[in-house]
Amino acid sequence: MVQSYLRHGPTEAFGIVCSSSSNSTYDGKLAYVPALEDVLVWDVKKGQMLAMWHETGHRAEVTAILRSPQRDIFAVGYADGSVRLWSASSTSVIATFNGHKKAVTALAFDETGTRLASGSQDTDLILWDVVGESGLYRLRGHRDQITAIRFLRPAAESAPSTSTGAAPGFLLTASKDTFLKLWDLQTQHCIQTVVAHRSEVWTMDLSPEQELVFTGSGEGELKAWKIDHEALAQGLRETETGEVTRFIYPAATLPLASSHRVSQISFHPHQPYLAVQSHDKSVEVFRIRTEDEIKKKQARRRRRAKEKELEKKGKKKGEEADGDAHMDAEYDEKDVELADLFTPYLIVRASGKVRSFDFGDEETGGRGNTQLFVALANNALEVYGIPPPMKSKDAAPEPSRLYSVDLPGHRTDVRTLCLSSDDALLASASNGSLKIWNMKTTACIRTMDCGYAICSTFLPGDRQVAVGTKSGEILIYDIASSSLVDTIQAHTATVWSIHVRPDEQGLVSGSADKDVKFWEFERKPVNRENPRGPSLLTLVHVRTLKMTDDVLSVRYSPNGKLLAVALLDSTVKVFYQDTLKFFLSLYGHKLPVLSMDISGDSKLIVTCSADKNVKIWGLDFGDCHKSIFAHDESVMQVAFERTDTREGDTKASHYFWTVGKDKMVKYWDGDKFENIQKLEGHHGEVWALAVSHHGKFVVTGSHDKSIRVWEKLDEPLFLEEERERELEALYESGVADTLNRADAPIGSGAPGVDVAAATAGAETTAVTKQTTETLMAGERIMEALELADTEIETFREYEEARAKGGLAESVAPPPRNPVVQKVPSTALYDALLVLPFGKVVSLMRYLNVWAQKASVCALYGWCDILTVCAVSQEWNIVLTSRIIFFLLRTHHHQIVANRVMRTALIPLRRNLREGLRRQKDTIGYNLAALCFIQRQTDAKRTAEFYEEEEDLTEEKVREKIAEGKKRKRVSIKA
């Protein structure tokens, strides 16, 4: 009989406030921050998490977040190269774009939010059509990771193009290859490359007027560049000297308070502020002066220069020389210097290393102060208020911290976990803090300061927690009062392990000072005046066992008879608990044993080591039952699964859990020596493990600061099926990688790539990337086509038989096979690439019918596979055209050489033209109606202005409407 197990699945992930894998965005009230593979929405004022954007089964980390001009939509880039569009209101994915081979590092929306540009570590730049949910084209030219992207408005908007891909506009990109590139989106080519810095360009931003570009480098340089919009409007031209027109000119270099790497530059969207992060813990804010302030400053300079000139000539203040008028004219004609425009205002110093920052939107932020949101690398968020400029020069402006969110997570790695006896509370400790969590709500209910915690355990009664620290202390905390009630200097070196005795009358501690110390519990009253009131436990040292090497782990057997001690010399010594007489020595690990556990029946002991192996030993004779290569890195913790006595489970479980530095959590059968399940989810080394006392779940803590719960499900698991599923996933990913391998990107450094050939590739290519999902979608399309061909052939035979009189009229027609499985629009092109040419020929015949009449949609249910059937049986001629044109481009050579295709292509051209003509008429009618509505709206607004201010002329009203809230432009000297 095949043995089955119960599957475990991830149910909760908590302890994360903000991970350092991506930037964050802030709108003045809500912060949208990365949380490893999820995005969290925080109300920073209340310190409350409002939503978690999680896609089931997706494990790649978030690497970039950007809000669209359409405020409900967010673009989120991931480490696997995918970009997902999320709806903030429904917390669901709208579309998924797959095109990059490595992590997405930069995102940018255009002004309308209809186009999205993404840059990646694979050096490619991809433009996506948000409305059509498809990739437009891939731009290649950078030789290292793209770090920043910005859309640039053309100065003179040309007539809107019929193709989204050829829409006018320009794109600025910065990269670690030290280049700043300007791309023309109409011609899809790079029109200027600027060597911006001597080292990597880490960040870039455009001024709101799009006249200046600021770039920051790894050497701490902040440079400003001027954009020549007039030259951009004229396009690429040759000057009289034969040089190509330049559009970007160096303007100036701004001095910074710090010489560290410039990590981020950001202009405030509405207020005259520029923020630069160039130090780990601070953000420098520059104020952009107005035109009047600059004129006043120039006047003061002129006055000072005039006074100095008079002093040199020995004249008094009232006397003027003949050349003074010339000096005034010279100062009047002088252009504004960049240093005059951007002046250092204040420095915001955060409490930790700054990962990213963002300005709060004034419309939602309010309060007079400009808000600066800071996401820290130590799992915390802070919001600072930047005061408005003061008239008095005496008081220097100081930022104030308005809000902070740091309690729901640790600042450093989660090093140890322990569960209360009823599994209701979880204690987690790190370097600096001990936190108590409610396991039902996963809410942090207590936070206490502690030293560098290494191990921990709940004391009997679940009212107190004992924590062993790196300094050799055992700290005892009372949960109810959130206080440290006792500090015991137990050892002179790190306390690596503590374990409560099975009779709950004491505990044992093992330390790097080579001592194993035994402690008895002693109760003392909380209030000495009331000895019958509640009492607290404290420790009394009773005896010490001296060892020959550092003690890394100590463990009592559940029957209370034996004590196992793991030493730094890679051995495990087993003693009798009562007499401390030596019993067994377990020798076999090549590196020290980091953790161990004894089964509930005290028959097996499992040890895990830094040599990546797990060994299962018998406690009767000390023989090694099995040595398993368990993890790819050091195995940090091991623990046997507990049996649930409430459900009548009397037999002790020999299943056990291991966690390691390879970020994996694994479930094992200790009798059959089989790996039952591999659980992926953590994004850093897994340090801590705690198993449920009732066998229902397991909790793990990691270097990524997250705490994850893996719960036992009712779903059965069979080892053979699990192995087959792993092999299938491995094969499909291998096939996808092979298909993607042919298009190696410039500068990717992929093994076996001919660098010269890759560099000589086209600057613009199609956006394709095969994944397991697109491969499956292609197979579904082929299945639908086969069903459709079979069904049509069956109907043809049925009609012929009826025409010849071989069938009675009462005989029913053959049944139809509806296949209604839709392919996502974003994966359609990649799925069509999977089709062999024979299936393409078959599909082209159906495309001809689909282009001819919409009634066919009701006849064949299988056409839903290509999502060409819209709601209410209306025909989606646009999507049909996309499929036809894509197939024609892809299989052009085969189609031209195939005579059979001629009979299908001629009627297809006629039917498609007719369908597109009807579509064009409909769009033209709707466009005319919208223009009419716009004219009515403009006329109404003009009339309202006339009613409010009768003295305004129509021209002034139109100027006022066009002006809006735009700030005055100041001419900058290049």
pLDDT in tens, 126-138: 999 998 888 888 9
List C-alpha distances in Å: 499 to 424, 496, 565, 569. Answer: 20, 11, 11, 21
Segment 924-951, tens digit of pLDDT: 999 999 999 999 998 888 887 666 655 5
DSSP 3-state assignment of 201?
strand
Residue-level pLDDT at 890 = 81
User: Where do we find the tokens 């981020």?
Assistant: 264
CB atoms within 10 A of CB 56: 5
Closest CA to 853 of 871, 880, 885: 880
Closest CA to 595 of 521, 516, 499: 499
Residue-level pLDDT at 660 = 95
Report the alpha-carbon distance of residue 302 to residue 317 in Å, rounded. Answer: 14
The DSSP line for 728-743 is HHHHHHHHHHHHHHTS
Report the alpha-carbon distance of residue 941 to residue 949 in Å, rounded. Answer: 12
**Is beta strand 551-556 parallel, antiparallel or unpaired with respect to 535-546?**
unpaired
Residue-level pLDDT at 167 = 67
Segment 200-229, tens digit of pLDDT: 999 999 998 888 999 999 888 899 999 988
How does 196-233 read in b/e, with b if 16+ C-beta sit within 10 Å?
bbeebbbbbbbbbebbbbbbbbbeebbbbbbbbbebbe
The ranges assigned to domains in the chain are 836-961
What DSSP designation does 160 have? P
Give the pLDDT mean for 256-279.
88
Is residue 154 scored above 90 in pLDDT? Answer: no
Residue-level pLDDT at 409 = 92
Residue-level pLDDT at 369 = 75
Residue-level pLDDT at 821 = 53
- At residue 84 the predicted structure's pLDDT band, cuts being 50, 70 and 90, is very high
Out of 391-400, 448-457, 919-928, which region has the weakest mean confidence (pLDDT)?
A: 391-400
List C-alpha distances in Å: 554 to 497, 521, 577, 692, 964. Answer: 6, 18, 12, 20, 73
Residue-level pLDDT at 670 = 92
Strand partners of residue 554? 565
Task: Give this prediction's pTM.
Answer: 0.82
Residue-level pLDDT at 368 = 63
Residue-level pLDDT at 127 = 94
Residue-level pLDDT at 545 = 94
Give the pLDDT mean for 710-736.
83
Is residue 483 scored above 80 in pLDDT? Answer: yes
CB atoms within 10 A of CB 924: 10
Give the pLDDT mean for 484-508.
94
Residue-level pLDDT at 873 = 33
- The percentage of residues in the chain with a pLDDT greater than 90, rounded to a whole number, is 50
- At residue 974 the predicted structure's pLDDT band, cuts being 50, 70 and 90, is very low
**Contact between 675 and 692 (Cβ < 8 Å):** no
Report the alpha-carbon distance of residue 827 to residue 778 in Å, rounded. Answer: 9
- At residue 159 the predicted structure's pLDDT band, cuts being 50, 70 and 90, is very low
Is residue 964 scored above 60 in pLDDT? Answer: no
Report the alpha-carbon distance of residue 205 to residue 734 in Å, rounded. Answer: 39
Residue-level pLDDT at 862 = 37
Residue-level pLDDT at 868 = 38
Report the alpha-carbon distance of residue 182 to residue 213 in Å, rounded. Answer: 12
Residues listed for the chain? 974
Out of 308-317, 377-386, 691-700, 879-888, which region has the weakest mean confidence (pLDDT)?
A: 308-317
- At residue 954 the predicted structure's pLDDT band, cuts being 50, 70 and 90, is low
Residue-level pLDDT at 738 = 64
- The percentage of residues in the chain with a pLDDT greater than 70, rounded to a whole number, is 83
Out of 129-133, 299-303, 707-711, which region has the weakest mean confidence (pLDDT)?
A: 299-303
Residue-level pLDDT at 754 = 47
List C-alpha distances in Å: 247 to 183, 194, 231, 323, 681. Answer: 11, 10, 6, 39, 47
Give the pLDDT mean for 825-833.
76
Residue-level pLDDT at 810 = 66
Spell out where 350-413 has E strands: 354-359, 370-376, 380-386, 400-405
Residue-level pLDDT at 156 = 52
Give the pLDDT mean for 415-426.
94
Q: Vertex 886, ends 883 and 887: CA angle to 5°? A: 85
Is residue 110 scored above 60 in pLDDT? Answer: yes
Report the alpha-carbon distance of residue 213 to residue 205 in Å, rounded. Answer: 6
Q: Which residue has the higher pLDDT, 356 or 829?
A: 356
Residue-level pLDDT at 962 = 64
Residue-level pLDDT at 646 = 63
Out of 359-363, 455-459, 804-808, which region has the weakest mean confidence (pLDDT)?
A: 804-808
Report the alpha-carbon distance of residue 176 to residue 807 in Å, rounded. Answer: 75
List C-alpha distances in Å: 719 to 370, 676, 678, 727. Answer: 59, 7, 12, 12
CA count, 13 A, side-chain hemisphere, 579: 4
Q: What is the mean pLDDT of the chain?
A: 83
Q: Which residue has the higher pLDDT, 582 or 243?
A: 582
Q: Vertex 883, ends 880 and 884: CA angle to 5°? A: 85
Q: Which two tokens stand for residue 862?
A: 């299988």
Is residue 161 scored above 50 in pLDDT? Answer: no
**Contact between 174 and 221 (Cβ < 8 Å):** no
Residue-level pLDDT at 907 = 80
User: Where do we find the tokens 């040595």?
Assistant: 627
Report the alpha-carbon distance of residue 178 to residue 252 in Å, rounded. Answer: 17
Closest CA to 283 of 369, 208, 350, 220: 350
DSSP 3-state assignment of 445?
strand
Q: Which residue has the higher pLDDT, 904 or 518?
A: 518
DSSP 3-state assignment of 645?
helix
Segment 645-704, tens digit of pLDDT: 666 566 788 999 999 999 999 999 999 999 999 999 999 999 999 999 998 999 999 999
Report the alpha-carbon distance of residue 641 to residue 667 in Å, rounded. Answer: 9
Could you tell me which residues come within 8 angstroms of residue 162 by beta carbon, excluding any fewer than 6 positions away?
none
Give the pLDDT mean for 147-169.
65
3-state secondary structure 206-223: ECCCCCEEEEEECCCCEE
Is residue 864 scored above 50 in pLDDT? Answer: no
Is residue 878 scored above 80 in pLDDT? Answer: no
Q: Which residue has the higher pLDDT, 955 or 277?
A: 277
